[in-house]
């Protein structure tokens, strides 16, 4: 039996986990894949991660190609666009007798395409991306992508928003399996960051510093928050192309803000636990709010934009305060209300911690395992199937 009380499988599977984006760069999909691997290994399986990488990665991961930075949909991503990766993918898949190949973002060029082409085992595809206005690449490249999509044996989307984005162009059955979280990691007491001294209030934002994350609106809101609640400090964890402009914006408004840059995954729980409010002000393009979930696991009050991807996590707002995207006055009002109302803070904290339980990786991994076992029992898909 595992920790959730479910029976562990009689058969240990060899599972390939293919990453679409640069494994050497911080990102939600890479973190998801690594957490997925740990959860599968804990259930007795073998999980092998590979994908593009611009720098050395973990010794138990395989770099298939280098990485090329591209900006699409407001997000800067490192893609594996080296055509020589095709041979490397083919060799890796041929040398390892995988029972299942799990590709994240199967339609992202080029490494996932090569995986779909050369996979000899059933393929599971997980779709993460959400675009409110639709995905512009899908209709343009549909003839090519449609053929690749037929190689996916089982389709997963991390949220209803992500499913609608892909299903609009590639209809079919998609099971919604959300991102997971290691609850114990975020609930366990973590060392307090030295920069976050006790005795003052902290509003924390975590994420890549790019326009769609809406951090500029949070900075503008904090000017009002710091007038209402003197001594409150804004802490911004993350890096990205907007960092310099955001720091200048904060300085121009006399907002007390600490830009930490990227922090190690192991240090993130400490920042969350030391904060009083965690704010996610993204204006769109979010299929799932993993940062919200991490804050909720720590029992922290959350203020977030009322966008579809975030709503999938907080369940309509009963465990978080949701405001319209880009509304700095509403953002400031929600933060001030939580900082000044201890009863509201406690209520949000209790509901948030309770809501986070259903996203524990032990539960998510068990669902994936059921899919894998069912697929592995089928006839192996040949490399040249169409």
Q: Torsion over CA of 309, 312, 317 and 320, rounded to 10 degrees?
A: -70
The pTM score is 0.87
Residue 315 has pLDDT above 80, yes or no: no
Q: 40-89, pLDDT tens digit by residue?
A: 999 999 999 999 999 999 999 999 999 999 987 667 889 999 999 999 99
pLDDT of residue 380: 45
Residue 6 in this model has a pLDDT that exceeds 50: no
- Domains of the chain with bracketed CATH: 14-180+360-376 (3.40.50.2000), 183-358 (3.40.50.2000)
- Over residues 221-237, the pLDDT tens digits come to 999 999 999 999 999 99
CB 145 within 8 A of CB 172: no
The mean predicted confidence, pLDDT, of the chain is 92
């Amino acid at each position: 039996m595992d920790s959730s009380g479910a029976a562990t499988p009689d058969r240990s599977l060899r599972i390939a986990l293919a990453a679409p984006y640069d494994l050497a760069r911080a990102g939600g999909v890479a973190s998801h894949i690594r957490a997925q691997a740990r959860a599968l290994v804990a259930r007795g399986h073998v999980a092998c991660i590979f994908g593009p990488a611009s720098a050395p990665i973990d010794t138990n991961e395989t770099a298939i190609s280098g990485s090329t930075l591209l900006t699409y949909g407001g997000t800067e991503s490192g893609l594996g666009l080296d055509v020589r990766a095709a041979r490397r993918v083919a060799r890796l898949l041929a040398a390892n007798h995988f029972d299942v190949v799990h590709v994240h973002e199967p339609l992202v060029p080029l490494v996932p395409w090569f995986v779909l082409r050369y996979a000899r085992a059933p393929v599971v595809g997980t779709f993460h991306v959400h675009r409110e206005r639709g995905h512009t690449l899908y209709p343009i490249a549909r003839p090519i992508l449609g053929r690749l999509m037929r190689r996916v044996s089982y389709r997963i989307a991390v949220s209803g928003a992500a499913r609608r984005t892909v299903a609009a162009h590639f209809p079919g059955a998609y099971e919604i399996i959300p991102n997971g979280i290691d609850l114990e990691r975020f609930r366990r007491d973590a060392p307090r960051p030295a920069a976050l001294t006790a005795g003052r209030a902290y509003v924390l934002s975590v994420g890549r510093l790019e326009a769609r994350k809406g951090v500029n609106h949070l900075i503008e809101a904090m000017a009002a928050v710091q007038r209402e609640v003197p001594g409150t400090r804004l802490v911004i964890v993350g890096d990205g192309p907007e960092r310099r402009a955001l720091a200048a914006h904060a300085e121009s408004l006399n907002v007390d803000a600490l830009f930490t840059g990227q922090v190690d995954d192991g240090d993130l729980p400490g920042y969350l636990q030391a904060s009083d409010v965690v704010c996610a002000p993204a204006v769109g393009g979010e299929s799932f709010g993993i940062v919200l979930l991490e804050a909720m696991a720590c029992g922290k009050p959350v203020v977030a934009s009322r966008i579809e991807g975030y709503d999938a996590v907080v369940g309509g707002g009963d465990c978080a305060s949701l405001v319209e995207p880009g509304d700095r006055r509403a953002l400031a009002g929600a933060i001030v209300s939580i900082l000044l109302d201890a009863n509201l803070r406690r209520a949000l904290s209790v509901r948030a911690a309770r809501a986070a339980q259903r996203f524990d990786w032990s539960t998510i991994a068990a669902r994936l395992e059921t899919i894998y076992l069912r697929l592995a029992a089928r006839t192996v898909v040949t490399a040249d199937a169409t």
